Amino acid sequence: MAPIKDRSYLYLANAVNKDSITLENKLNMIEQGCQNASITSKQVLQLVGIAIKSQKDGAKRYKKILAAFTAILRLLGRSTKVTQKLNGHEYVEMGDGLKWATCNVGAEKPEAGGDNFFWGDPIPAEGGAGWDKYKWGNRQVSKYSVDERLGPVDNKIVLEPSDDMASVNWGSTWRTPTKDEWEGLMDKTKFTWTWDSTFKGYWIISKVEGYCGNKIFLPASGIGDHNGAFLPSGTLWSSSLYDKNSLQAYHVSYYEGDVVLSPTMRCYIPHVRPVSY
């Protein structure tokens, strides 16, 4: 026997596939059906598509079709645009409560790497990584320390806005995601590796109900050494200090087949992908 939600979907599909019923009434039927049955967002889209196609004059009646799409958005509780802007920068909501920027700081396109940064230094790095270039000290840090052997202890474990690479460069409420926020995104999405003429890296695709299909792209704009092999890779900072070694902070590193959230030296220079509430 088919599940109840499948029977409900089939019943509605048959009901809205009748030209004798007005489109407005079909949309009302779909909305009422969604309130009384477990119907997925994908099935809602399919039902509205059936309702539109069954209207002989549907393609010519713009207002009716516009009403149909408005109904879809109302039912899904979503904005009229998947990609929106905050302070001039595009973002996508992935279902974890955050706005995820579509580009790295310093990049004009999602497939570009953008600027490189030392952890806690909002000025783009030039001339490569290294402790001799690091703002907060050379193997002894003057800020963000939980270990007196490595610098004066201030117990600051998350970047302040004045030191946050995203906050300073993009303004508004943009900031660098924390370790926990990276973990939350990874738990709620699917990572799909792609390698074509334009996009080389990972598509991150939401699995959250109501946001399914929303996606952002993380470019593999660098080359990483893994077990002696040089592989296309990418690295992105978090704003979280590694609490077991004040010389390190958490970052996301990735290449084909693997995505890892781990600590790395603060004097290295990954990219930054901003978020906002």
35-83 pLDDT per residue, tens? 666 677 778 878 888 888 887 765 555 556 666 666 665 555 544 467 8
Check if the beta carbon of residue 171 is closer than 8 Å to that of residue 188.
Answer: no
Is 104 found in the same domain as 201?
yes
Residue 15 has pLDDT above 70, yes or no: yes
Percent helix, strand, coil in the chain, to 5, is 25, 25, 50
**pLDDT above 70 as % of the chain:** 84
As a whole number, the mean pLDDT across the chain is 87
What are the tens digits of pLDDT across the range 240-255?
Answer: 999 999 999 999 999 9
All residues at 6 or more sequence positions from 273 whose CB lies less than 8 Å from its CB, including other chains: 100, 101, 104, 105, 166, 177, 216, 218, 236
* Mean per-residue pLDDT, 180-194: 96
Number of domains in the chain: 2
Helix/strand/coil for 170: helix
Is 122 found in the same domain as 60?
no
Is 109 found in the same domain as 193?
yes
Among 76, 96, 131, the domain-final residue is: 76
Is 50 found in the same domain as 136?
no
Among 23, 58, 76, the domain-final residue is: 76
All residues at 6 or more sequence positions from 70 whose CB lies less than 8 Å from its CB, including other chains: none
Among 51, 76, 101, the domain-final residue is: 76
What are the tens digits of pLDDT across the range 103-156?
Answer: 999 999 999 999 999 999 999 999 899 999 999 999 999 999 999 999 999 999
Is 117 found in the same domain as 235?
yes
Q: Which two tokens stand for residue 4?
A: 């109840």
Is 65 found in the same domain as 90?
no
Is 184 found in the same domain as 131?
yes
Residue with tokens 């109840």: 4
234: left (phi over 0), alpha (psi -120 to 50) or beta: beta
Is 238 found in the same domain as 156?
yes
Is 147 found in the same domain as 258?
yes
Q: What is the model's pTM?
A: 0.71
How would you label 154-190 residue by residue, b for 16+ Cβ within 10 Å and e otherwise? Answer: eeebbbeeebbbbbbbbeeebbbbbbebbbbbbebbe
Is 49 found in the same domain as 116?
no
Is 92 found in the same domain as 58?
no
Range of the domain at 228: 83-276
Is 71 found in the same domain as 88?
no
